[in-house]
């Protein structure tokens, strides 16, 4: 999978913490194109119920999942309250109008596609050099409803509306079936929301989940995209230290993929060496449970920092 591509998507979830607000008469005039103005929904609290790509899915092919979980409330003239899971409360932020239907908040951009007293639809935008980037990074729509609309009109709950759809399940099944046909292929493997589980079955092995390999992101909610384990083996055949990735298939088999700090001409020999260590040591000293998404097992990639002590 493309870690660089997925990294750009990390700002998607952050923007739903920020998006909403308004202020001046000019802002209201621009916002009125979407329905009502922000001033018309002042003091109304909205709950995010859907966060999807324009194709209607909550997942992309790399396994990145859009998870709706924010609460927004606009306060005139230019303040927005947003729920912070870290602080477990609403925080106040300042929002600026950019132009037309596009707004900027905390260095993020979004387009207000719909404003009513019952709902909001906000499109997250990736802006580069004052130009809206095309593609997936600007292709996320977040839908918000009021509690009254959810309970009295739709007669359901926030949690129920936030669940993945049948279309999401069908998409993950399709991606998973590709990994069954090509279990060792890193190009068909994708991130599992329930990551690969490794547990020692020997007192000579210690193991710790580190997370965040290659991501540059420091939010625990994204750790499933970049799982990394540190494994230390005592009484190994020799001293060694390697950092590499493996594709883990649905049977718990390990296939070495990327290796850190190796010259291209040395790669074939080093890959064969580490694959041997994985086959002999890791397969026999660990209980390996494959990763799953929506309860469906599939091949996924993890990073391992492996230390051997004689």
Alpha carbon separation from 180 to 65, 117, 189, 300 (Å, rounded)? 21, 47, 10, 11
Owning domain of residue 77: 3-163
Lowest mean pLDDT across 4-13, 34-43, 136-145, 290-299:
4-13
Instruction: Write down the pLDDT at residue 288.
Output: 98
Render pLDDT for 73-109 as a digit per residue (tens, 0 to 9): 988 888 888 887 777 788 888 877 666 677 776 567 7
Instruction: Write down the pLDDT at residue 100.
Output: 67
Question: Do 172 and 133 reside in the same domain of the chain?
Answer: no
Distance CA 78, CA 55 (A): 32
Question: Do 10 and 159 reside in the same domain of the chain?
Answer: yes
Section 24-47 average pLDDT? 67
Question: Do 147 and 239 reside in the same domain of the chain?
Answer: no
Alpha carbon separation from 27 to 17, 93, 102 (Å, rounded)? 20, 17, 10
**DSSP assigned state of 148:** H
Question: Do 85 and 56 reside in the same domain of the chain?
Answer: yes
Instruction: Write down the pLDDT at residue 156.
Output: 97
Instruction: Write down the pLDDT at residue 70.
Output: 84
Instruction: Write down the pLDDT at residue 28.
Output: 43
Q: Which residues, 6 or more positions from 161, have their beta carbon under 8 angstroms from its beta carbon?
A: 49, 50, 145, 150, 154
Question: Do 44 and 115 reside in the same domain of the chain?
Answer: yes
Instruction: Write down the pLDDT at residue 112.
Output: 86
Question: Do 107 and 190 reside in the same domain of the chain?
Answer: no
Lowest mean pLDDT across 39-43, 91-95, 140-144, 193-197:
91-95
Question: Do 143 and 195 reside in the same domain of the chain?
Answer: no
CATH of the domain at 119: 2.40.128
Query: Hey, which bits of the chain come out as E strands?
Result: 45-53, 71-75, 79-84, 89-99, 102-105, 108-115, 119-125, 127-128, 131-132, 140-146, 197-200, 205-209, 228-234, 240-248, 254-259, 286-289, 292-293, 296-297, 300-309
Last residue of a domain, one of 163, 180, 211: 163
Instruction: Write down the pLDDT at residue 4.
Output: 42
Q: Residue for token digits 């109008």?
A: 97
Contact 192, 250 (CB under 8 A): no
Query: Which tokens is 28 given?
Result: 């209201």
More reliable by pLDDT, 36 or 243? 243
Question: Do 194 and 51 reside in the same domain of the chain?
Answer: no
pTM of the model: 0.81
Render pLDDT for 124-135 as a digit per residue (tens, 0 to 9): 875 554 444 454
Question: Do 131 and 254 reside in the same domain of the chain?
Answer: no
Last residue of a domain, one of 145, 163, 181: 163
Question: Do 145 and 194 reside in the same domain of the chain?
Answer: no
Question: Do 144 and 129 reside in the same domain of the chain?
Answer: yes
Last residue of a domain, one of 112, 138, 163: 163
Average pLDDT, the chain: 83
Render pLDDT for 144-158 as a digit per residue (tens, 0 to 9): 999 999 999 999 999
Section 115-119 average pLDDT? 94
pLDDT reading at 15 higher than 70: no
Instruction: Write down the pLDDT at residue 206.
Output: 95
Instruction: Write down the pLDDT at residue 107.
Output: 64
Question: Do 138 and 256 reside in the same domain of the chain?
Answer: no
pLDDT reading at 118 higher than 60: yes
Alpha carbon separation from 146 to 86, 88, 110, 261 (Å, rounded)? 23, 19, 20, 52
Instruction: Write down the pLDDT at residue 102.
Output: 76
Instruction: Write down the pLDDT at residue 59.
Output: 96
Q: How many domains does the chain have?
A: 2
Lowest mean pLDDT across 163-172, 209-218, 259-268:
209-218
Q: Where are the alpha helices (DSSP H) in the chain?
A: 3-18, 25-31, 147-148, 158-162, 166-181, 267-277, 283-285
Q: Residue for token digits 């596609």?
A: 113
């Amino acid at each position: 999978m493309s870690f660089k591509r997925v990294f750009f998507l990390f700002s998607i979830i952050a923007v739903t913490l920020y998006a909403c607000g308004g202020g001046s008469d000019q802002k209201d005039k621009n916002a009125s194109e979407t329905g009502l103005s922000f001033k018309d929904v002042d003091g109304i609290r909205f709950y995010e119920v859907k966060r999807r790509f324009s194709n209607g899915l909550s997942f992309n092919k790399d396994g990145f999942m859009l998870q709706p979980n924010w609460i927004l409330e606009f306060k005139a003239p230019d303040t927005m309250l947003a729920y912070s899971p870290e602080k477990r409360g609403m925080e106040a932020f300042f929002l600026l109008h950019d132009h037309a239907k596009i707004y900027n908040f905390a260095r993020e951009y979004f387009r207000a596609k719909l404003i009513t007293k019952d709902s909001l639809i906000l499109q997250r935008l990736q802006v580069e050099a004052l130009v809206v980037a095309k593609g997936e990074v600007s292709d996320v729509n977040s839908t918000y409803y009021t509690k009254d609309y959810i309970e009295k009109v739709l007669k359901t709950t926030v949690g129920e509306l936030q669940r993945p759809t049948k279309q999401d399940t069908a998409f993950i099944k399709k991606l998973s079936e590709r990994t069954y046909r090509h279990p060792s292929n890193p190009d068909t493997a994708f991130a599992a929301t329930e990551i690969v589980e490794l547990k020692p079955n020997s007192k000579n092995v210690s193991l710790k989940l580190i997370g965040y390999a290659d991501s540059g992101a420091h939010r625990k909610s994204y750790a499933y995209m970049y799982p990394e384990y540190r494994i230390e083996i005592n009484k190994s055949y020799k001293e060694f230290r390697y950092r590499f990735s493996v594709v883990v298939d649905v049977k718990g088999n390990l296939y070495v993929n990327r290796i850190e700090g190796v010259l291209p001409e040395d790669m074939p020999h080093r890959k064969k060496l580490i694959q041997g260590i994985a086959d002999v040591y890791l397969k026999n000293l660990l209980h390996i449970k494959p990763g799953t998404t929506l309860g469906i097992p599939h091949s996924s990639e993890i990073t391992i920092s492996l230390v051997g002590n004689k």
